[in-house]
Amino acid sequence: MSKSNPAIILLEDGRSFRGTAFGSKGEAFGEMVFNTSMTGYQEILTDPSYAGQIVCMTYPLIGNYGVNEADVESRRPWAEGFVVKEASRIGSNWRSTESLQSYLARNNIVGIEGIDTRALVRHIRDKGAMRAVISTTDLDETSLQEKVLSSPDMKGRELATEVTAEASFEYPSAAESRYHIVAYDFGVKTNSLREFAKFGCRVTVVPAGTSADEVLSLEPDGIFLSNGPGDPASMQAVIEEIRKLAASQKPMFGICLGHQLIGQAFGGRTFKMKFGHRGGNQPIKNLTTGKVEITSHNHGFAVDADSLPADVEVTHVNLNDNTVAGLRHKILPVFSVQYHPESAPGPHDSEYLFEQFVRMMEK
C-alpha cells in the first residue's frame, strides 16, 4: 500500500479494509455491493441503476483496456465509489482514449485498490449489502462509522427522480420507423434505446414523473419501463400511473426496476434481497420454453412470487435462488423481466425479448 495515497473502506458493521486511493480524492458514501462481471466496468460505472451504491468488482484486474467514448450507457458515471483489487494504469485497446484512473478523477468518483476484494465480497454475502464509505481524507474508523450510520439507507430510498432526464427527448429508429415507443427513464441505459432502434422503433424518452395522460397523448404503440436505482416501494405515485397505463391496454414491457414496478402495480410486493444479483452470469429459466438463458443482472430488490394475484403468472425464475425473474399478465399485453436483456455488458441470450415486444405491438 502506498504510504502517500492511503484510503480506507469502512462498513456500517465496523469491518474495515485499507488500501490505496485511485481516481478522485475525498469521501464516498453508499450501499456496498459487488459485481461479478469480468469486463464492462465502463458500462457498469455509467449504469444509473448504481446510483447510491459503491461497487466492488470481483475480477481482480480492472482497467486493462482503458475507457472510450462509445461504451458509456448514460450521460455520466453514477456509482458513488469504485473498489478493485488492482487498477491497471495501462489501457491496451485501440479504442481507448483515457485511463480508468483519469476517467474516475475527471468524474469525481472515489476509488480504492489494493484491498482483498475476496474478503470484502464474502463478508457482504455473509452479512448482506450494507452502507459503507470510501475515504482518502478521514482515515479514523470511529469518525467514519458515525458518518456511515448517518448516511441514507437503500431500503425506502427513491432515486429514480435523481437520475432521470430533465426533459423528454427523441431517440430515432436505425431503420425504417415502424413503431413509436414511449420509454420511462427511471435510469434507462442507452443500449436499450439502441435495441429498440435496431428493430425499427422510434423512442420518446420521458422523465420518471410523467403522467399516464401525458404518455397516452403521445399516441405510443408501446410503453417501456426502464431499469433504475432505489427501492420500488418508494415510488407509489409512479405505480399508480402504471396502473392507468396498463388499463389502457397498450403493450407494456418492463425491465429491472420497471419489472418491480409492474409487479407492484398489479398488487404484488417487493422485498430487499440480502445482497442482490449483479453480474453477467446469472442463469434464468424461461418457464414457457424450458430454455436456460445466461443473463446480465443489477438489482437488490425482487418481486415476491406469493404476493402476485391469479391473473399474473411467473414466466422466468433465477436458478441460483428461485427468485422471480419474469412476469406476464394473463389478459393485458404486459410483461417484464428482472434482468437486463440489453446487456452492455453481458451475454445476448435475452435479445429475443425486444423482438417479443415488437411482435406484441404488431398485434
CATH value at residue 331: 3.40.50.880
In-domain check, residue 270: yes
The verdict on residue 238 lying in a domain is yes
Are the C-beta atoms of 137 and 110 separated by less than 8 Å? no
Residues 204 and 115 in one domain: no
CB-neighbour burial class of residue 265 (10 A; exposed 0-12, middle 13-18, buried 19+) = buried
- Does the annotation mark 277 as catalytic? no
Q: Indicate if the pLDDT at residue 1 is higher than 70.
A: no
Q: Are strands 81-83 and 110-113 parallel, antiparallel or unpaired?
A: parallel
For residue 293, the enclosing domain spans: 160-362
For range 255-279, the mean pLDDT: 98
Q: Tell whether 154 is covered by a domain.
A: no
**Among this protein's residues, is 340 annotated catalytic?**
yes
Please give the backbone phi and psi of residue 122, each rounded to the nearest 5 degrees, phi first.
-65, -35
The closest alpha carbon to 272, from 128, 57, 152, belongs to: 128
Based on the residue annotation, tell me whether 256 is a catalytic residue of this protein: yes
Please state, rounded to an integer, the average pLDDT across all residues of the chain: 96
Q: What is the DSSP letter of 96?
A: -
What is the residue whose three cell numbers read 404476493? 307
1 in any annotated domain? no
The secondary element (H helix, E strand) that includes residue 83 is strand 81-83
Are 165 and 270 in a shared domain? yes
pTM of the model: 0.96
Containing 265, the helix (H) or strand (E) segment is helix 257-265
Share of the chain above pLDDT 90, in %: 96
Average pLDDT on 337-350 reads: 92
Same domain, 102 and 218: no
64 and 103 in a common domain: yes
- 198 and 309 within one domain: yes
Tens-place pLDDT, residues 194-225 = 999 999 999 999 999 999 999 999 999 999 99
CA–CA dist 9, 87 (Å, integer): 16
289 and 180 part of one domain = yes
List the CATH number of the domain containing 116: 3.50.30.20
| Residues 244, 127 within the same domain | no
pLDDT tens track for 27-71: 999 999 999 999 999 999 999 999 999 999 999 999 999 999 999
Query: Is residue 327 in a domain?
Result: yes
What's residue 360's pLDDT? 96
Q: Please check whether residue 244 lies inside any domain of the structure.
A: yes
Q: What are phi and psi of 339, to 5 degrees?
A: -100, -170
Q: Name the pLDDT band for 363 (thresholds 50, 70, 90).
A: confident
CB atoms within 10 A of CB 145: 17
Q: Which three cell numbers stand for residue 172?
A: 430515432
Q: Both 196 and 306 in a single domain?
A: yes
Based on the fold, state whether residues 94 and 229 are members of the same structural domain: no
CB-CB neighbours of 1 under 10 Å = 13
Last residue of one domain, picked from the residues 121, 149, 177:
149
Q: Which helix (H) or strand (E) holds 57?
A: strand 53-57
Distance (Å, whole) CA 193 – CA 210? 18
Q: At 4, is the pLDDT very low, low, confident or very high (cuts 50, 70, 90)?
A: confident
Confidence of residue 3 (pLDDT cuts 50, 70, 90): low
In the beta sheet, which residues pair with residue 292?
A: 285
Instruction: Report cis status (omega within 30 of 0) of the bond before 345.
Output: yes
CB 275 within 8 A of CB 309: no
d(CA 343, CA 332): 27
What b/e readout covers 161-200, taking b as 16+ CB neighbours within 10 angstroms?
A: ebbbeeeeeebebbeeeebbbbbbbbbbbbbbbebbbebe
Residue 273 lies in a domain: yes
From 256, 259, 277, 329, the catalytic residue = 256
Last residue of a domain, one of 149, 176, 195: 149
Number of independent structural domains in the chain = 2
Reply yes or no on whether the pLDDT at 342 is more than 90: yes
| Positive or negative: CA dihedral 209, 211, 216, 218 | negative
Q: Which of 277, 297, 299, 340 is catalytic?
A: 340
Of 116, 149, 182, which residue is a domain's last? 149
Taking residues 125-143, report their average pLDDT: 97
Cβ atoms < 10 Å from Cβ of 96? 16
Number of H helices, E strands in the chain: 10, 19
Shared domain for 214 and 352, answered yes or no, is: yes
